[in-house]
Amino acid sequence: MNMELYKSFYYTAKYGNISKASEHLYITQPAVSRSIKQLEEELKCPLFFRTSKGVILTPEGEILYQYVDQAFSFITTGEKKISDVKNLLYGEIRIGVSDTLCKHYLIPHLKLFNTLHPAIKIHVICPTTPGIINLLKSGKIDFGIINLPYNDEQLNFKSIMEVQDCFVTGQKYKSLSRKAQPLSTIIQHPLLLLEKNSNSRLFIDQYFKTNSVSVIPDFELGNIDLLVQFAKYDFGIACVIKNFVEEELEKGRLFEVKPIEKIPSRHIGVTWLKNVPLSPAAKEMISNLEYFETTEF
Amino acid sequence: MNMELYKSFYYTAKYGNISKASEHLYITQPAVSRSIKQLEEELKCPLFFRTSKGVILTPEGEILYQYVDQAFSFITTGEKKISDVKNLLYGEIRIGVSDTLCKHYLIPHLKLFNTLHPAIKIHVICPTTPGIINLLKSGKIDFGIINLPYNDEQLNFKSIMEVQDCFVTGQKYKSLSRKAQPLSTIIQHPLLLLEKNSNSRLFIDQYFKTNSVSVIPDFELGNIDLLVQFAKYDFGIACVIKNFVEEELEKGRLFEVKPIEKIPSRHIGVTWLKNVPLSPAAKEMISNLEYFETTEF
DNA sequence: TCATAGATATAACCTGCCTTTATAACAGAT
DNA sequence: ATCTGTTATAAAGGCAGGTTATATCTATGA
C-alpha cells in the first residue's frame, strides 16, 4: 500500500475539499483527485461523497480517518522529536568516566551543561578505564573520559585538559618540599600510589622505569581523594594530579615534593567510537569540554 | 515529507537489515538503501549505524522508530477496520421507521440480521414519515422504511412487502363480517383510523374519496396496536394492515368487515438517498429485507 | 593468510507512475 | 444567465525511484 496516497486522503479529509488539500500538498487538484480514487480502488471502498462544495467522508472514510489522523500525528511528533534532538531540546548522554575525573573534572562541567540544556538527560557510570572501553564498544555509553595516552584503532581521542602529576605529602615530610629532590631520595620514603589497574599508575610506573628506579609502594589506593587523605595523615608521599590539589597546596594542607627528574605532563581526553556518529547532544558536550576550567578541592 | 520513505525506514528498523527489508518491500536493496539515505538527509540526522551484519538504529533512529511504529500500526488497523466493514464484521446501520412497521415488520428481521452479523451495531429511530425523509437528507440515517407510494427526486425506493388494508372489529359489530358490506354501510359505524400525519391515513382517505364517501373518524390513534385494542373493546371498526392482524383474525379475537369496494393493496418500501453510496452493512440489510416474512401479533 | 559469504554504498540507466495541463461537467450564488 | 468554485477525465511529459552492475567492507572459516 502506497503511503503517499494516505497523505492525499488525510489532507482531503481534513479540509473536506480536494482543491484545498492540493494547495497544502503543493500539487495540483487532479493529482489529489486521482490519488483518492486510487486509494478507494485499492481499499475497494468509497471514502468520500463528492459534492459541488467539496467532499464529505463516507462512514467508512470516517473510520479510516480516525486511524490515519492518529498515524499522521505520530509521524509528526516523531519528526518533531528528531528536530528537538538536533536542537538539544531532547535526548540523553551516557558517559563513562573514572571516579577521580568524575569528581574533579566532570561534575562541575555537567552542572553548567545542565543549565544550558536542561532537557538533556545525563547518565554517568564510573568504571575503570578498560571498563569504559568495553562499554563504549558495546554501545552502552556515548563517550568516555580517560587518562591519555591510550591506543585503540576503533576509537577517536581528543585531549581536553593537560594535567601534571606531582608528589605531595603532609607535615611529617614537609622538609622535603624545600627544594627539588632526586627521585632516588623520594622513593626511600613510604609511597602512596594508585592501584595497578589504572592508566595513571601505568604512566607513573613508566616514569619510574625511565628514571631507572624500582618502586614498591607502601599503599595502593583506589582514587586520588584517598591518596590525599593518606598523605595528610602522614602515611608517606603520594603521587597525584597537581591540577586537582592546587587548593590544598595553597592553603598549606599539603606540600609538594618536587623531583629533580621532572614528571612529564599528560592529558585527560575524551574518547568515542570511530565508526559510530555521536548524537548531537554528545557532540555538543564534547565540544564544550575542552573550554572548561577544572575546579579544586 | 515523503511517506514512502518511512516505509523503507520502518521495515529496515524492524529487521535490522536493509536487504531483508527490501525483500519484504518487494524492491531491491539499493532502492531501500537510497530511501533511507534520503530520509536521513531530509531529517538531517543519521538514523542507522551501518555494520557488516546489517544496520542498527542510532539513538535518534530509535526515538523516531517508536513513533513510526505506532503510526504504521494505526494505518494497518485502519485498513483492517475497512476490510471488516466490507465483510460485515464492523459497522453500524441507522434506520428510520414508523412505530407500527418497526414492531410488526422490522424487529423480527433485526433479530435475524443480528444473529448473522453480531458485530454490526444497529440504531433505530421511529419518527413519522416526513421525519424519516428529513433524517435521510441530513445524513442522520442510512435508510428509512415507509409506506409507499412516496415521491422524491433525491430518493431511491424499493418495495419490500405487499400489504393489504382491511376493516376489523370486535364482538359488537361481528355480524357485519358475515358478508361483504357496501362502504356506505361501514362508515355509518364508529370508525377508528390512524392520525392524519401518517402515510397510511393519506392512503385510506384517498380510498374513501375515490369511492365518494366522506368520513369523520370517531377515533384517530397513533399506531395499529391502539387501533386493534380499541376495536377489540368494541369502540367501532378499525382500518388496519391485514398482514399484521392475521393471528387475531384466525383466533377469533377480531373479525374482518369486508367492503364491497375492495381496498387496493399497497407496499411497504425501503428508501435511501440516490447520491450517497450505502454502507456495505446497510446494503446487506436492505437486500435481505425483501425476503423476510412478517410475523403476527 | 586467503577466500568466501553477506552486508551496505555508489553510479548509471531507464521505466512507469504521478504530476501537470487543459477541459468538461456540475451546483450554487449573484 | 453568468460567474465562481467544485470534482472528474484525458493526454502528454518529466522525473522520482527502481533495477542492474559493481565496489567495498567485515566477519568467518578453511
pLDDT one-digit tens code per residue, A65-101:
999 999 999 999 999 999 888 888 888 889 998 878 8
Residue B152 is assigned to a structural domain of this protein? yes
Q: Which of B11, B44, B51, B70 has the most A C-beta neighbours within 10 Å, making it the best mutation to test the interface with A?
A: B70
Residue A169 is assigned to a structural domain of this protein? yes
The C-alpha of A8 sits at a distance from chain B's nearest C-alpha, in angstroms, of 11
pLDDT of residue A11: 92
Query: Do B272 and B228 lie in a common domain?
Result: no
In Å, what is the separation between the CA of B145 and the C1' of C28?
A: 31
Give percent of chain A with pLDDT exceeding 90.
Answer: 12
Average pLDDT on A134-144 reads 83
List, in sequence order, the alpha helices (H) in chain B. 3-15, 18-25, 29-43, 59-86, 99-101, 107-116, 129-137, 183-186, 199-210, 224-232, 246-250, 280-289
Angle between helices A29-43 and B59-86 (to 10 degrees): 70
Q: Among A86, A104, A128, where does a domain finish?
A: A86
pLDDT of residue A9: 92
Query: Do B60 and B140 lie in a common domain?
Result: no
Q: Residues of A with CB below 8 A from B7's CB?
A: 3
Query: Do A17 and A142 lie in a common domain?
Result: no
pLDDT of residue A111: 85
Chain C footprint bases within 7 A of protein beta carbons: 6-12, 18-23, 26-28
pLDDT of residue A292: 44
Q: Give CA–CA dist B122/B91, Å, rounded.
A: 9
Distance of CA B58 to the CA centre of its chain: 52
pLDDT of residue B195: 85
**Which three three-digit cell numbers place residue A81?**
522529536
Q: Among A54, A86, A118, where does a domain finish?
A: A86
Q: Among A21, A52, A86, where does a domain finish?
A: A86
pLDDT of residue B203: 86
Q: Which of B1, B3, B84 has the most A C-beta neighbours within 10 Å, making it the best mutation to test the interface with A?
A: B3
Q: Give tens-digit pLDDT for B217-236.
A: 888 888 888 888 888 888 88
Give me the number of domains chain B comprises: 3
In Å, what is the separation between the CA of A57 and the C1' of C28?
A: 21
**Domain boundaries, position A221:** 165-264
Backbone torsions φ then ψ of B242, nearest 5 degrees = -60, -40
Query: Do B122 and B191 lie in a common domain?
Result: no
Query: Do A275 and A137 lie in a common domain?
Result: yes
Does position A208 have pLDDT exceeding 90, yes or no?
no
Query: Do B46 and B79 lie in a common domain?
Result: yes
Residue B297 is assigned to a structural domain of this protein? no
Residue A295 is assigned to a structural domain of this protein? no
Residue B296 is assigned to a structural domain of this protein? no
Cβ neighbours of A226 (radius 10 Å): 17
Q: Are B176 and B234 in contact (CB under 8 A)?
A: no
Q: What is the mean pLDDT of chain A?
A: 85
Q: Give CA–CA dist B92/B85, Å, rounded.
A: 9
**Which three three-digit cell numbers place residue B215?**
368520513
- Find the CB nearest B6 among A3, A64, A81: A3
Within residues 180-209 of protein chain A, the ones with CB less than 7 A from nucleic strand D are: none
> Does B54 contact strand C, using a CB cutoff of 7 Å?
yes
Q: Report the relative pairing of strands A237-241 and A191-194 from DSSP bridges.
A: parallel
Does position A296 have pLDDT exceeding 70, yes or no?
no
pLDDT of residue B253: 86
Highest mean pLDDT: which of A125-139, A144-158, B113-127, B144-158? B113-127
Query: Do B122 and B176 lie in a common domain?
Result: no
- Find the CB nearest A68 among B63, B78, B91: B78
Query: Do B136 and B279 lie in a common domain?
Result: yes
From the number of C-beta atoms within 10 Å of its C-beta (0-12, 13-18, 19+), residue A174 rates as: middle
Average pLDDT on A98-121 reads 85
- Along the 297 residues of chain B, how does pLDDT read in single tens digits? 889 899 999 999 999 899 988 888 899 889 999 999 999 988 888 899 888 888 988 888 889 999 999 999 999 999 999 988 888 888 888 988 887 788 888 888 888 888 888 888 899 988 888 888 888 877 788 899 888 777 777 788 888 888 889 999 988 888 888 888 888 888 888 889 988 877 788 888 888 888 888 888 888 888 888 888 888 888 889 999 888 888 888 888 888 888 888 889 888 888 888 777 788 888 888 888 875 444 333
In Å, what is the separation between the CA of B284 and the C1' of C1?
A: 74
Domain harbouring B59, CATH code = 1.10.10.10
Give the residue from A223, A119, A193, A204 showing the smallest Cα distance to A165. A204
Which amino acid belongs to residue B219?
F
Query: At B54, which helix (H) or strand (E)?
Result: strand B54-57
pLDDT of residue A295: 37
Query: Do A138 and A208 lie in a common domain?
Result: no
Binary contact (B63, A81; C-beta < 8 A): yes
Query: A174 vs A10, which has greater pLDDT?
Result: A10
Residue A297 is assigned to a structural domain of this protein? no
Query: Do A80 and A104 lie in a common domain?
Result: no
Domain harbouring B285, CATH code = 3.40.190.10
pLDDT of residue B51: 84
pLDDT of residue B67: 92
Query: Do B247 and B203 lie in a common domain?
Result: yes
Query: Do B213 and B240 lie in a common domain?
Result: yes
Residue B294 is assigned to a structural domain of this protein? no
pLDDT of residue B295: 37
